[in-house]
């Protein structure tokens, strides 16, 4: 086999070289983040690199890789239209009929097939040593699961899956879950093979600065996603104020004289029960310092665990979903009675959802002159941190979030903030001008006035 200096041919910049080195070592690699980070070009060239390397190692000819997009127009615009002038003729030839780039015989006759994913059943019998997907978040997880079954080639044990994507799209949740949050099904046997490579527009030295300026002018949530490559924001996200960098912090020992509270969203047989612990400092800053998140059909088991985790702490109040006071038709007892029987006495939470979410947003906001938002979440509160950015707007009631999602932890957060710092408390006692409560009341009045304009 002839020698080829691949770096001289593909002209990868530093971040693309980093992605290549990682893809050489890990089976499932996602190269993603901001737009303009060079992902699509890397997805075209890395498969050729892989085919050349595999041929040099095995001398197996005709190894096939697949480069996929969500539909044909995207495939044509992102790749087919570019391959015909980008790949040199001495390396191989593009077949317009089969939509394949075929390496020359001296390079192993490897094949890069360009395909679309609008009907994956077309590939029921197909085999690929490498699968590459551009804009992975435009696909459902079922598509990814199916493509994994197509990753095989006789004589090749080192098969690969690579993908590129920006935040957002129908697949945002599952992609983020696998590559960023590292949350897997119990049956997943290759957890250690998922690797994320963050791309930023600033990583691409070939982009004109005017492109970055244009991205800087986008609305906040789009700017965070497309310029900063922030996977905690996306179009349709409910809490656009959320920023893990400023809302989370390392745990510290809570002073004993700070007031402590709990908030509970009770689940059922198949949905989790969430309990959050809060501490309030002298300046009325709130710290969420502990969480409990579990599924158990017995309310008493939840109560026992919550009491155990609280230890000897003095809890000023435990706010809970008012539905927990509904009496059972079987024995006449409510869920709140079951909690009380285990020593966890509950207080009815303010369940005004719309105003409650407004209060949550006030605590997320970092306003001028503030060193940090008024809500800080300890890094050990994994489920709360995980689920806050996943909340999306309800399609029929935009001021509320979609309750079909994993909203148990954020509901517990709302119960506490709306009950202790919410509107009812302000109406009962006139807040001092300039105070945080006074500022929240003014914001509420402005919102109400805007609604009637």
| Alpha-carbon separation of residue 121 from 125, 138, 151, 165, 402 (angstroms) | 9, 17, 15, 23, 32
**In a structure prediction context, what are the per-residue pLDDT tens digits for the chain, which is 453 residues long?**
556 677 767 888 888 999 999 999 999 999 987 777 788 899 999 999 999 999 999 999 999 999 999 999 999 999 999 998 899 999 999 999 999 999 999 999 999 999 999 888 889 889 999 999 999 988 888 899 999 999 999 999 999 999 999 887 778 888 988 998 888 888 899 999 999 998 877 767 666 677 667 777 766 666 766 776 777 766 677 888 888 889 999 999 999 999 999 999 998 777 899 999 999 999 889 999 999 999 888 999 999 999 999 999 999 999 999 999 999 877 889 999 999 999 999 999 989 898 899 899 989 988 777 788 999 999 999 999 988 988 888 877 878 888 877 899 999 999 999 998 764 454 455 666 766 556 656 665 665 554 434
Provide the domain limits for residue 28: 6-226
- In a domain? residue 147: yes
- In a domain? residue 177: yes
pLDDT at 18: 92
pLDDT at 392: 81
pLDDT at 173: 81
With contact defined as beta carbons under 8 Å apart, do 109 and 102 qualify? Answer: yes
274/213 same-domain check: no
- In a domain? residue 231: no
Sheet of 130-134, strands arranged across: 92-95, 100-103, 111-116, 64-69, 130-134, 160-165, 28-33, 194-199
3-state SS class at 258? coil
Nearest Cα to Cα of residue 101 among 82, 124, 78: 82
- In a domain? residue 31: yes
304/367 same-domain check: yes
Which residues are bridge partners to 290 per DSSP? 277
Instruction: Kindly report the three-state secondary structure assignment for every residue of 70-123.
Output: CCHHHHHHHHHHHHHHHCCCCCEEEECCCCEEEECHHHCCCEEEEEECCCHHHH
Q: How many CB atoms lie within 10 A of CB 398?
A: 10
Sheet of 273-280, strands arranged across: 248-249, 375-378, 286-294, 273-280, 259-265, 315-320, 347-348
pLDDT at 266: 94
267/181 same-domain check: no
45 φ, ψ (degrees, to nearest 5): -90, -35
- In a domain? residue 449: no
The CATH number covering residue 30 comes to 3.40.50.300
Which residues are bridge partners to 263 per DSSP? 276, 319
- In a domain? residue 414: yes
Last residue of a domain, one of 175, 195, 226: 226
Question: Tokens in use for 124?
Answer: 């029921």
pLDDT at 452: 37
214/252 same-domain check: no
220/251 same-domain check: no
The Cα–Cα gap between 373 and 287 comes to: 10
Q: For the residues of 290-324, what is the DSSP string, one character each?
A: EEEEE--S-HHHHHHHHHHHHTT--EEEEEE-GGG
The Cα–Cα gap between 25 and 29 comes to: 9
Mark 196-235 as b/e (b = at least 16 C-beta within 10 Å). Answer: bbbbbbebbeeeeeeebeebeeeeebbbbbbbbbbbbbbe
With contact defined as beta carbons under 8 Å apart, do 276 and 411 qualify? Answer: no
pLDDT at 426: 46
3-state SS class at 164? strand
User: pTM, whole model, 2 decimals?
Assistant: 0.60
The domain total for the chain is 2
Read off the DSSP letter of residue 62: S
The helix or strand, by DSSP H or E, that contains position 165, with its residue range, turns out to be strand 160-165
Nearest Cα to Cα of residue 128 among 38, 185, 177, 67: 67
217/315 same-domain check: no
The CATH number covering residue 290 comes to 3.30.420.280
The Cα–Cα gap between 115 and 69 comes to: 7
């Amino acid at each position: 086999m002839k020698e080829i200096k691949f770096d001289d041919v593909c002209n990868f910049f530093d971040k693309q070289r980093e992605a290549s080195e990682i893809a050489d070592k890990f089976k499932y690699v996602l190269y993603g983040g901001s737009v303009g980070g060079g992902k699509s070009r890397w997805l075209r060239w890395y498969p050729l690199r892989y085919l050349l390397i595999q041929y040099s190692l095995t001398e197996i000819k005709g190894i096939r890789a697949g480069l996929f997009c969500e539909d044909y127009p995207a495939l044509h615009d992102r790749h087919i239209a570019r391959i015909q002038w980008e790949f040199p003729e001495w390396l191989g030839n593009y077949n317009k009929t089969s939509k394949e780039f075929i390496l020359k015989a001296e390079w192993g006759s490897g094949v890069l097939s360009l395909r679309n994913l609008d009907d994956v059943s077309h590939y029921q019998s197909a085999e690929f040593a490498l699968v590459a997907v551009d804009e992975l978040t435009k696909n459902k997880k079922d598509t990814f699961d199916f493509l994994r079954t197509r990753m095989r080639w006789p004589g090749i044990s080192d098969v690969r899956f690579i993908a590129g994507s920006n935040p957002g799209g129908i697949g945002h949740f599952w992609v983020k879950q696998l590559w960023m949050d590292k949350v897997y099904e119990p049956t997943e046997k290759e957890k250690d093979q998922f690797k994320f490579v963050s791309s930023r527009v600033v990583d691409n030295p070939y982009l004109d600065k005017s492109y970055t300026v244009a991205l800087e002018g986008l609305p906040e949530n789009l700017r965070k996603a497309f310029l900063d490559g922030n996977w905690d924001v996306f179009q349709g996200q409910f809490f656009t104020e959320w920023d893990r960098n400023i809302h989370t912090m390392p745990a510290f020992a809570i002073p004993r004289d700070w007031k402590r509270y709990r908030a509970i969203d009770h689940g059922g047989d198949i949905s989790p029960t969430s309990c959050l612990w809060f501490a309030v400092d002298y300046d009325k800053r709130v710290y969420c310092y502990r969480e409990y998140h579990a599924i158990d059909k017995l309310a008493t088991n939840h109560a026992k665990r919550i009491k155990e985790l609280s230890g000897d702490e003095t809890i000023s109040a435990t706010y809970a979903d008012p539905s927990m006071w509904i009496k059972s038709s079987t024995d006449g007892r409510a869920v709140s009675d079951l909690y009380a029987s285990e020593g966890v006495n509950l207080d009815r939470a303010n369940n005004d959802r719309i105003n409650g979410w407004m209060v949550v947003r006030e605590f997320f906001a970092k306003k001028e002159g503030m060193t940090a938002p008024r809500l800080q979440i300890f890094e050990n509160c994994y489920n709360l941190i995980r689920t806050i950015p996943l909340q999306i707007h309800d399609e029929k009631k935009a001021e509320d979030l979609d309750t079909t999602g994993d909203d148990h932890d954020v509901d517990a957060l709302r119960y506490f903030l709306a009950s202790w710092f919410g509107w009812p408390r302000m109406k009962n006692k006139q807040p001092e001008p300039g105070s945080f409560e006074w500022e929240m009341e003014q914001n509420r009045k402005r919102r109400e006035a805007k609604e009637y304009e």
